Amino acid sequence: MTVTFAEKLARMPGYQAGVPTGQAPEAIAAGGIAQLASNESPFPPHPQVVEAIAATAAAMNRYPDPDATLLRRRLAERFETDPSRIAVGNGSCEILLAAAEALCEPGDEILFAWPAFSMYPYLPALTGARETRVPLTGDDVHDLEAMAAEVTAATQLLLLCNPNNPTGTHIPAAEVAAFCARVPSHVTIVLDEAYVEFQTDDDPDASLDLLADFPNLVVLRTFSKCYGLAGLRVGYAIGSATFRAAVDAVRQPFSVNALAQAAGAEAILHQDDVLRRVESTVAERLRVEEGLRGIGLRTAETQANFSWIDLGDAEEGEVVAALAEREIAVRPGTPLGDPGHIRVSYGTASENDRFLRVLSEILD
């Protein structure tokens, strides 16, 4: 069946960036806007990462290493695996898109929970595969029972977002393992762990132990969040060598630019710094959650660098607009499939204080 250009365009969900458009990041910071809408790190990259980027900048007349050899080797050392099992991409978004493109045809199925990361609906829309969205439970967690029941012979790709964006809720590693054991091996399971470093209820690396038992499992991670490198666009996946080959076969050559490769290769060496950043963010998480409870608001049980706030009787659009008027950017819940909510990323301590103060005034 031929799909017209207009039909294809109509099924694309359209990405809504949390970042104000037309403004450079430094202008946003200098202008006093509290940018709490994109789950970024409020901390700049490690100074040695900035140095590595600057040192690489002088050789921009050359294309980057198409195989990202150094970056993949350092990742393999960090995760005690073979570089052949590591795929890299222009952000982990590129790996998600490439996985769908490599694995899915019209008639196949892509299964994910909802609400989850707003990019997921792109995957069926781009490939023509059918999508199955399984609602989160009343506690905002993945309904693994219902998801397992939705798997069919046509399911090619199953996405688990852990911790989940936008709710921050997390599936314990033991439950992920039990779920993987129930899913047939023809299904590629992508465990999207963009925020896993912020998880304190479980060992963030527990999922990596599952890779040996489940060859159809892929762990997806990013430098955009805890490493403070969202502006460079670099993510990675650890899975089978076949998955890596599939991603490489469809993504454009050189998609991870030389600056991003150098930054990632340096950043992964500074795990002590990652821990410090994570500790600061987790301390802010406790403070913000307590502050929200103090205002009488209910939140999902977050293990990430953001809170998912139930606004109760308050009108979501009015709250978002009132916050924007006071130069605080947050994510509204409606485009993410859950009206009456906002998602707020943790910024610096003073940004978080400002957010709590202004929100309390708005709701008063």
Ligand X SMILES: Cc1ncc(COP(=O)(O)O)c(C=O)c1O
Q: Is 165 one of the binding residues for ligand X (CB under 6 A)?
A: yes
What are the Cα distances from residue 89, in Å, to 13, 95, 233, 264? 22, 5, 8, 11
Least separation, in Å, of the C-beta of 338 and ligand X? 15
Indicate the residue among 34 and 96 with the shorter CB distance to ligand X.
96
- 192 near ligand X (CB under 6 A): yes
* Least Cβ distance, residue 174 to ligand X (angstroms): 21
Q: Which is nearer to ligand X, 15 or 106 (CB)?
A: 15
Binding map of ligand X across residues 107-136, x = CB under 6 A, - = no contact:
----------x-------------------
Strands (DSSP E) found in 171-310: 188-192, 217-222, 235-238, 298-299, 306-310
Closest separation in Å from C-beta 39 to ligand X:
5
Judged by CB under 6 A, how many residues of this single chain contact ligand X?
13
Those residues whose C-beta lies under 8 Å from the C-beta of residue 65, and which sit 6 or more positions away, are 258, 261
Name which of 190 and 328 has its Cβ closer to ligand X: 190
* Site map (CB under 6 A) of ligand X, residues 73-92, x = contact: ------------------xx
DSSP 5-36: HHHHHHH------SSPTT--HHHHHHTT-EE-
Taking the least distance from each CB to ligand X, the nearer of 172 and 294 is: 172
Give the residue nearest to ligand X (CB).
91
Q: Are strands 86-89 and 235-238 parallel, antiparallel or unpaired?
A: antiparallel
Longest Cα separation, the chain: 57
Q: Residue 170's closest CA among 204, 147, 145?
A: 204
Least Cβ distance, residue 361 to ligand X (angstroms): 29
| β-pair partners for 134 | 113
According to CB under 6 A, which one of 39, 169, 303, 345 is a site residue for ligand X? 39
Least distance between ligand X and beta carbon 293 (Å)? 25
Choose between 64 and 235: whose C-beta lies nearer to ligand X.
Answer: 235
Give me the torsion for CA of 345, 348, 354, 363, rounded to 10°: 20
With CB under 6 A as the contact rule, the residue among 224, 303, 307, 352 that binds ligand X is 224
Q: How far is the CB of 165 from ligand X (least distance, A)?
A: 4
Q: Is 194 in the site for ligand X (CB under 6 A)?
A: yes
Q: Is 348 helix (H, G, I), strand (E, B) or coil?
A: coil
Gap between the Cα atoms of 39 and 165, Å rounded? 9
**HSE toward the beta carbon, residue 194, CA cutoff 13 A:** 31
Task: State the CB neighbour count (10 A cutoff) for residue 196.
Answer: 26
Residues numbered 254 to 313 that lie near ligand X (CB under 6 A) are none
Chain residues in the site for ligand X (CB under 6 A): 39, 91-93, 117, 161, 165, 192, 194, 222, 224, 230, 235
